[in-house]
Amino acid sequence: MRTVDLIQKKRDGGELSREELAFLIQGYSSGRIPDYQLSAWAMAVYFQGMTARETADLTLEMAASGDQVDLRSIQGVKVDKHSTGGVGDTTTLVLAPLVAAAGVPVAKMSGRGLGHTGGTIDKLESIPGFKVELTEEQFVEQVNRHGLAVMSQSGNVTPADKKLYGLRDVTATVNSIPLIASSIMSKKIASGADAIVLDVKTGSGAFMKTLDDSIRLAEAMVAIGEEVGRETVAVISSMDQPLGVAVGNALEVKLAIETLKGEGPADLEELCVTLGAHMLVLGGRALEIGEAKDMLYEIIRKGYALKKFKEFVAAQGGSPSFIDQPSQLPTAKHVFPVEARTAGYVAAIEAERIGLGAMMLGAGRETKEASIDLAAGMLLKRKIGDLVEAGDVLVELHTNRGEASLVEAVRQQVLAAYTITEAKPAEPTLMYAVVTKAGVERLV
Ligand code: URA
């Protein structure tokens, strides 16, 4: 087999076989195939697409390129959840204990934040003492004992995806639906999930800016799940404004605690309960979504979700006293208000700008090696639909960096993120559609 022939076949719209994809992925991982040839193939895929079968085969090849976590010794159906990336996306911190409290085992590998999006592992590390590095044995043992463990993704899960993603990033081939779908699903499959719930973000702050593209991405991932025997459901949710009201690590942990008590923002709670309900149905704990949602609201109301979160924090070395007294979590030295310059209704909040601003305050990394400030971030005091007067606080900036020029730059970033109009905007949509093997169910 010759790489050039496979590039040509894809360039001309052909379908590569499993053997041909294995040749490309294994050859690239081992260094036998150079970057320039794989980038030509990625660009051919970008223009020609891939069939469902090809996408599933590429996924399996990448999943097999490194460690594969064996979760078979955990009893029950292991349902994983993945978000395609957002700003203020506190869902895992709420969803994992909520679903575990309902009896579905949660064995979750998560990543760190990069650029304007956050990562669950950094958020958990803002709880003093919390250990994110577990051995596979400790991970499995903890899930069997407590129903829940979250660990940092091992460095050798899907190395082929890591290498290919790095190449796509510099060759303008990230935004290809089969390449994104296979990248995400390969990590979920290698992490040992039996079934997968995806939160596919759509809108200004997401990879996929339009609903149609988001649905196509969701369909591609659901189809991969079908092909490889891991039932997959995708909820399409809005990233037209940040979810919830907190962006930044300790700030998001504090918000997750409020939400687990039933006192969090409505959008975060509703999305978590919906994603959790799909996890309960896939995990065999409920027959249908309505029943599952009722169960989850009851679990929050009775305090079981918060109790499970404390149990989980203690099991991973953190002190549950931080959960009882969230004010003891890392807190920034400075809080600077950003005030509205004009009166009107908040009509839009560009999530990406808010995420970038939070990163400038210290909450995120510009490069993989950069360190972060766990206390830094933003609290959104106004969201879409709210009426504001000039001078009202839109956002609070929390930071340990007090330099006036930095604070001013972030203030400008926040003001540019907010659109304020005279006319009242339409009610924002939180969830647009659910994609399953049965098809697309539009929610609006
Ligand atoms: N997230 C991933 O893991 N991979 C992609 O290609 C895009 C988003």
Per-chain mean pLDDT for the chain: 94
**Nearest by Cα to 80 from 189, 219, 220, 214:** 189
Q: Indicate if the alpha-carbon torsion angle 184, 186, 189, 191 is positive or negative.
A: negative
Q: Indicate if the alpha-carbon torsion angle 159, 364, 251, 128 is positive or negative.
A: positive
- Count Cβ atoms below 10 Å from residue 409 Cβ, excluding itself: 12
Question: What's the 175 CA to ligand 1 centre distance in angstroms?
Answer: 9
Q: Rg for the chain (alpha carbons), in Å?
A: 22
What single letter denotes the amino acid at residue 89?
A: D
79-129 pLDDT, tens digit per residue, is 999 998 778 789 999 999 999 999 999 999 988 876 677 789 999 999 999
**Cα–Cα distance, 196 to 56 (Å, whole number):** 15
The residue contributing the CA closest to ligand 1 atom 6 is 180
Which residues' Cβ are closer than 6 Å to ligand 1?
84, 165, 174, 179-180, 183-184, 207
- Ligand 1 pocket mutation pick from 83, 158, 161, 180 by most atoms within 8 angstroms of CB: 180
Helix axes 266-282, 289-301, angle to 10 degrees: 120
Tokens for 375? 């206390």
Report the pLDDT value the prediction gives residue 376, as an integer from 0 to 100: 96
Q: How many CA atoms lie within 13 A of 351 on its CB side?
A: 27
- Ligand 1 pocket mutation pick from 45, 174, 198, 213 by most atoms within 8 angstroms of CB: 174
DSSP for 420-440, please give it: EESSPPPPPPSEEEEEETTEE
Tokens for 384? 């879409």
The residue contributing the CA closest to ligand 1 atom 5 is 180
Question: What's the 299 CA to ligand 1 centre distance in angstroms?
Answer: 33
Phi first, then psi, for residue 378 (nearest 5°) are -140, 150
Report the pLDDT value the prediction gives residue 82, as an integer from 0 to 100: 93
* Tokens 């933003």 sit on residue: 378
237-290 pLDDT, tens digit per residue, is 999 999 999 999 999 999 999 999 999 999 999 999 999 999 999 999 999 999
The residue contributing the CA closest to ligand 1 atom 7 is 180
**Cα–Cα distance, 380 to 73 (Å, whole number):** 43
Question: What's the 184 CA to ligand 1 centre distance in angstroms?
Answer: 5
Strand-strand pairing, 377-380 and 344-349 = unpaired
**Cα–Cα distance, 382 to 296 (Å, whole number):** 28
The residue contributing the CA closest to ligand 1 atom 3 is 184
The Cα-based distances of 367 to 88, 152, 359, 370, 401 in angstroms read 19, 18, 11, 5, 19
Report the pLDDT value the prediction gives residue 223, as an integer from 0 to 100: 96
The number of the ligand 1 atom at minimal distance from the alpha carbon of 179 is: 6
**Cα–Cα distance, 117 to 115 (Å, whole number):** 6
Q: Are 396 and 357 in contact (CB under 8 A)?
A: no
The number of the ligand 1 atom at minimal distance from the alpha carbon of 180 is: 6
**What's the average model confidence in pLDDT over 70-75?**
90
189-223 pLDDT, tens digit per residue, is 999 999 999 999 999 888 888 999 999 999 999 99
Question: What's the 178 CA to ligand 1 centre distance in angstroms?
Answer: 10
Residues recognised as catalytic: 82, 161, 168, 183, 187
The number of the ligand 1 atom at minimal distance from the alpha carbon of 165 is: 6
Question: What's the 391 CA to ligand 1 centre distance in angstroms?
Answer: 40
